[in-house]
Amino acid sequence: MLILQGHNHVSESAIENFSRIQYSLSFLIGVTLALAATYITIKALKRILENMLKEKLFILKNAYQMKRIVLAQILAILSDPFLSWADRLTRSQLGRSNYVIQSDFVSDAVQLLFVYIIYIAFKMAIQLKEENSLTI
Protein backbone atom coordinates (compact mmCIF):
# COMPACT_ATOMS: atom_id res chain seq x y z
CA MET A 1 0.00 0.00 0.00
CA LEU A 2 1.29 3.43 -0.96
CA ILE A 3 0.99 5.98 1.84
CA LEU A 4 1.42 9.68 1.16
CA GLN A 5 1.23 12.32 3.84
CA GLY A 6 -2.07 14.23 3.71
CA HIS A 7 -3.61 11.90 1.11
CA ASN A 8 -5.85 8.88 1.07
CA HIS A 9 -4.22 5.48 1.12
CA VAL A 10 -4.03 4.00 -2.34
CA SER A 11 -3.59 0.30 -2.79
CA GLU A 12 -1.15 -1.10 -5.29
CA SER A 13 -3.98 -2.84 -7.12
CA ALA A 14 -5.76 0.51 -7.57
CA ILE A 15 -2.60 1.96 -9.04
CA GLU A 16 -2.10 -1.06 -11.30
CA ASN A 17 -5.72 -0.94 -12.51
CA PHE A 18 -5.70 2.81 -13.10
CA SER A 19 -6.81 3.78 -16.61
CA ARG A 20 -3.47 5.18 -17.69
CA ILE A 21 -4.24 5.46 -21.39
CA GLN A 22 -7.57 7.22 -20.88
CA TYR A 23 -6.04 9.54 -18.32
CA SER A 24 -2.97 10.29 -20.43
CA LEU A 25 -4.90 10.99 -23.62
CA SER A 26 -7.51 13.08 -21.87
CA PHE A 27 -4.93 15.09 -19.96
CA LEU A 28 -2.72 15.51 -23.03
CA ILE A 29 -5.58 16.74 -25.22
CA GLY A 30 -6.87 19.08 -22.50
CA VAL A 31 -3.48 20.59 -21.75
CA THR A 32 -2.65 20.94 -25.45
CA LEU A 33 -5.89 22.81 -26.13
CA ALA A 34 -5.38 25.01 -23.06
CA LEU A 35 -1.80 25.83 -24.04
CA ALA A 36 -2.82 26.57 -27.63
CA ALA A 37 -5.50 28.94 -26.33
CA THR A 38 -2.97 30.66 -24.11
CA TYR A 39 -0.45 31.01 -26.94
CA ILE A 40 -3.03 32.43 -29.36
CA THR A 41 -4.27 34.90 -26.75
CA ILE A 42 -0.80 36.13 -25.83
CA LYS A 43 0.20 36.51 -29.48
CA ALA A 44 -3.00 38.42 -30.29
CA LEU A 45 -2.58 40.71 -27.28
CA LYS A 46 1.01 41.39 -28.30
CA ARG A 47 -0.09 42.46 -31.77
CA ILE A 48 -2.86 44.65 -30.38
CA LEU A 49 -0.41 46.34 -28.03
CA GLU A 50 2.05 46.88 -30.88
CA ASN A 51 -0.70 48.59 -32.89
CA MET A 52 -1.70 50.67 -29.89
CA LEU A 53 1.88 51.88 -29.50
CA LYS A 54 1.73 52.97 -33.14
CA GLU A 55 -1.47 54.85 -32.21
CA LYS A 56 -3.56 52.62 -34.44
CA LEU A 57 -6.46 51.72 -32.20
CA PHE A 58 -9.62 51.13 -34.22
CA ILE A 59 -8.29 49.25 -37.22
CA LEU A 60 -9.29 45.98 -38.82
CA LYS A 61 -6.06 44.29 -37.74
CA ASN A 62 -7.01 44.81 -34.10
CA ALA A 63 -10.52 43.50 -34.78
CA TYR A 64 -8.97 40.39 -36.31
CA GLN A 65 -6.81 39.93 -33.21
CA MET A 66 -9.88 40.31 -30.99
CA LYS A 67 -11.55 37.59 -33.05
CA ARG A 68 -8.51 35.38 -32.46
CA ILE A 69 -8.90 35.94 -28.71
CA VAL A 70 -12.55 34.84 -28.95
CA LEU A 71 -11.48 31.71 -30.83
CA ALA A 72 -8.77 31.06 -28.23
CA GLN A 73 -11.39 31.24 -25.50
CA ILE A 74 -13.44 28.66 -27.40
CA LEU A 75 -10.35 26.42 -27.39
CA ALA A 76 -10.10 26.91 -23.64
CA ILE A 77 -13.71 25.82 -23.26
CA LEU A 78 -13.03 22.78 -25.44
CA SER A 79 -10.17 21.79 -23.13
CA ASP A 80 -12.45 21.72 -20.08
CA PRO A 81 -14.19 18.36 -20.70
CA PHE A 82 -10.87 16.61 -21.24
CA LEU A 83 -9.33 18.04 -18.08
CA SER A 84 -12.50 17.28 -16.13
CA TRP A 85 -12.45 13.70 -17.35
CA ALA A 86 -8.81 13.28 -16.29
CA ASP A 87 -9.62 14.73 -12.87
CA ARG A 88 -12.67 12.48 -12.57
CA LEU A 89 -10.54 9.42 -13.30
CA THR A 90 -8.11 10.26 -10.51
CA ARG A 91 -10.96 10.98 -8.10
CA SER A 92 -12.94 7.86 -8.86
CA GLN A 93 -10.08 5.38 -9.17
CA LEU A 94 -7.44 6.80 -6.84
CA GLY A 95 -9.49 8.93 -4.48
CA ARG A 96 -7.61 12.14 -5.15
CA SER A 97 -7.88 15.19 -7.34
CA ASN A 98 -5.47 16.77 -9.78
CA TYR A 99 -5.23 20.31 -8.44
CA VAL A 100 -2.40 21.31 -10.77
CA ILE A 101 -4.67 22.01 -13.73
CA GLN A 102 -8.39 22.13 -13.21
CA SER A 103 -11.05 23.03 -15.66
CA ASP A 104 -13.75 25.52 -14.90
CA PHE A 105 -16.34 25.48 -17.63
CA VAL A 106 -18.55 28.17 -16.11
CA SER A 107 -15.67 30.60 -15.64
CA ASP A 108 -14.42 29.98 -19.18
CA ALA A 109 -17.91 30.45 -20.61
CA VAL A 110 -18.34 33.77 -18.76
CA GLN A 111 -14.93 34.89 -20.03
CA LEU A 112 -15.95 33.94 -23.56
CA LEU A 113 -19.13 35.98 -23.26
CA PHE A 114 -17.19 38.96 -21.90
CA VAL A 115 -14.52 38.77 -24.63
CA TYR A 116 -17.18 38.36 -27.32
CA ILE A 117 -19.04 41.45 -26.11
CA ILE A 118 -15.78 43.42 -26.24
CA TYR A 119 -15.15 42.09 -29.75
CA ILE A 120 -18.62 43.16 -30.94
CA ALA A 121 -18.22 46.61 -29.37
CA PHE A 122 -14.81 46.95 -30.98
CA LYS A 123 -16.17 46.03 -34.42
CA MET A 124 -19.00 48.53 -33.98
CA ALA A 125 -16.48 51.24 -33.08
CA ILE A 126 -14.48 50.47 -36.23
CA GLN A 127 -17.63 50.64 -38.36
CA LEU A 128 -18.60 53.94 -36.74
CA LYS A 129 -15.12 55.32 -37.39
CA GLU A 130 -15.30 54.25 -41.04
CA GLU A 131 -18.76 55.82 -41.44
CA ASN A 132 -17.56 59.07 -39.89
CA SER A 133 -14.53 59.20 -42.17
CA LEU A 134 -16.78 58.73 -45.22
CA THR A 135 -19.14 61.58 -44.35
CA ILE A 136 -18.42 65.04 -45.69
- Give 4's pLDDT tier (boundaries 50, 70, 90): low
Summarised one tens digit per residue, pLDDT across range 117-132 is 999 998 898 888 888 8
Segments making up each domain of the chain, as ranges: 12-134
User: In this predicted structure, what is the pLDDT of residue 43?
Assistant: 97
Summarised one tens digit per residue, pLDDT across range 77-95 is 999 899 888 887 877 666 6
Per-residue 3-state assignment (H helix, E strand, C coil) for the chain: CECCCCCCCECHHHHHCCCHHHHHHHHHHHHHHHHHHHHHHHHHHHHHHHHHHCCCCCCHHHHHHHHHHHHHHHHHHHHHHHHHHHHHHHHHHHCCCCCCCCCCHHHHHHHHHHHHHHHHHHHHHHHHHHHHHHCC
